[in-house]
Amino acid sequence: MKTYFFLYLLISTSLQAGNFKSPDSIVSILFCGDVTLANHFENHVGNNTVYPFEKIPWFDDADLTMINLENPLTSRGSAVDKKFTFRALPVYAKMLATSGIDIVTLGNNHIYDFGSQGLFDTIDYLRKENIYYVGAGRNNSEARHPVIFFRKGLKIAFLGFYGTHKHSDSYPAQIDSAGTALRQLNLIEQDIRKIRNDVDLIIVNFHWGTEKATKPGDDQIAFAHNVIDFGADMIIGHHPHVLQGIEKYKNKIIAYSLGNFIFGGNSRPEYTTALLKTKISKNSLNAEVIPLKVTYWQPEKLEGNAGKAVVDSVKKLSQSFKKSIF
């Protein structure tokens, strides 16, 4: 929400802000899944930038809202050599901003679909609309940078990562070249420890896992636990395109996959999904699953028994963990 003061910064920037409130103040953050504003989405929506979000005006009631933006915003560049490539109209950056989205993760396998030119344009259009980003950048330093918001007396940091050297489509950023921030354990540990003493909450986004898998792999679970042990408070996962369980580990939250939110790469016009609503204070961290139905790439809250069924499905998927949010 742009009515608050927030700061986009590298670690070396000093942390200072006014408008601090009681330590008991509650900060609400909404986390949504994969968003691709291309292909079938563009064919249906065109330039109607009001339509996609008009049934979820409560985005603007949250203190922060985050999505996984899984396409470049550009009309330039050439597609890289891969099976599926996406790009979206630059005007959609304004649509995201007016809908109430504050921050996106670009650390995914489609942000580089139109090369460095597509990524550069995306960054420029997001900045123009005061939307902040993590997980990719013009170089490795920018890709790994945290974004820190001040909300109601809390300093909340976001990081994003995608891919390893084994991923052929991860296009990792280098010292002097654009790309994504590698999901490499020792680097993530460094990035978390750099800011741990300066912030109240650290939220880490991962693009990982297997498409269509309803459960995370054992390697993901171990990886997530390590990252929590390093000092992260919450992990938000993307990529499988389906919902997965939500673990509570050492009283921290791990949402392994939030599925699709608005995914224009899929020709299926109707589906159910969910978002994660978190409520945070200096002394507590709570989350709930908000069920959604999406009709022709327009999400809205799913009420009644149908909504309960979505929540129950995530609850069931969470039963394999020693502890969950349910």
- pLDDT (tens digit, 9 = 90+) per residue, 30-66? 999 999 999 999 999 999 999 999 999 888 889 999 9
Q: Which of 187, 169, 178 is nearest to 86 (CA)?
A: 169
Return all residues near 312 (Cβ < 8 A) that are at least 6 apart.
Answer: none
Report residue 295 CA to chain centroid gap: 22
CA angle 147, 102, 68 (to 5 degrees): 85
Q: Which two tokens stand for residue 29?
A: 């953050």
pLDDT on residue 168: 63
Torsion of the alpha carbons at 86, 178, 107 and 241, rounded to the nearest 10: 20
Identify the band that residue 165 occupies on the pLDDT scale cut at 50, 70 and 90: low
* Architecture field, domain 27-317: 4-Layer Sandwich (3.60)
What is residue 8's predicted lDDT score, i.e. its pLDDT?
A: 42
Delimit the domains of the chain by residue range.
27-317
Q: Are 63 and 25 in contact (CB under 8 A)?
A: no
Residue 164: CB atoms within 10 A of its CB come to 13
Kindly tell me if the per-residue pLDDT of 96 is higher than 50: yes
**pLDDT for 210-252, tens place per residue?**
999 999 999 999 999 999 999 999 999 999 999 999 999 999 9
Whether 5 has a pLDDT exceeding 70, the answer reads no
pTM beyond 0.85: yes
- Decide if pLDDT at 18 tops 50: no
Is the pLDDT reported for residue 20 higher than 50?
no
Who contacts 38 (Cβ-Cβ below 8 Å, separation ≥6)? Answer: 71, 86, 87, 88, 264, 265
Closest CA to 214 of 238, 243, 239: 243
- Least confidently predicted of 88-97, 119-128, 206-215, 262-271: 262-271
